[in-house]
Amino acid sequence: MDTALYAQGDTGAARQRLRLWLQMLKAVRHVENDLRERLRQGYDMTLPRFDVLAALLAAPDGLRMTELSQQLMVSNGNVTGIVDRLVADGLAERETMESDRRAFRVRITDTGATLMREMTARHLEWIDELLADVTEADAARGISIMLDIRHKAHR
């Protein structure tokens, strides 16, 4: 996108913020695309399935579908298809809830947990490799900026 399209009535600071936003998008897309490919090649895994397994690994008692959707910030419908495939692959399981027979809780299986621990170790290595040129101080500054953006957006 050409920032010149926004030339009318903007300030230098506004234009810089727009450039920041565009560079953030490009950086995230670059890293995400690389991670998607590595997960696909190394584990025949998609990024959405990885995200669901990560959420389940962090919740040993399992999560209701609504809780899972809220954590991942996606619709129940999106999560249902992913959970169906994880269950079919033996990486997750559904358990009917005693309090409501229509609702169920999703848990990661032992097989899923073992795979997820291996993938998260590799994921950490991949991120470290992709961001190897970012110093620890720059990473801390970047995190601080991202947190400021998120907090201001929620006001």
Region 106-119: mean pLDDT is 97
Q: From CA 143, how far away is CA 126, in angstroms rounded?
A: 18
Q: How confident is the model at residue 5 (pLDDT cuts 50, 70, 90)?
A: low
Q: How confident is the model at residue 2 (pLDDT cuts 50, 70, 90)?
A: low
List of domains in the chain: 15-153 (1.10.10.10)
Whether 113 shows a pLDDT value over 80: the answer reads yes
Asked if 81 contacts 74 with a C-beta cutoff of 8 angstroms, the reply is no
Average pLDDT, the chain: 90
In this predicted structure, what is the pLDDT of residue 9? Answer: 58
Region 89-94: mean pLDDT is 96
In this predicted structure, what is the pLDDT of residue 8? Answer: 59
In this predicted structure, what is the pLDDT of residue 74? Answer: 84
In this predicted structure, what is the pLDDT of residue 12? Answer: 86
pTM here is 0.81
130-148 b/e (C-beta count within 10 Å ≥ 16 → b): eeeeeeeeeeeeeeeeeee
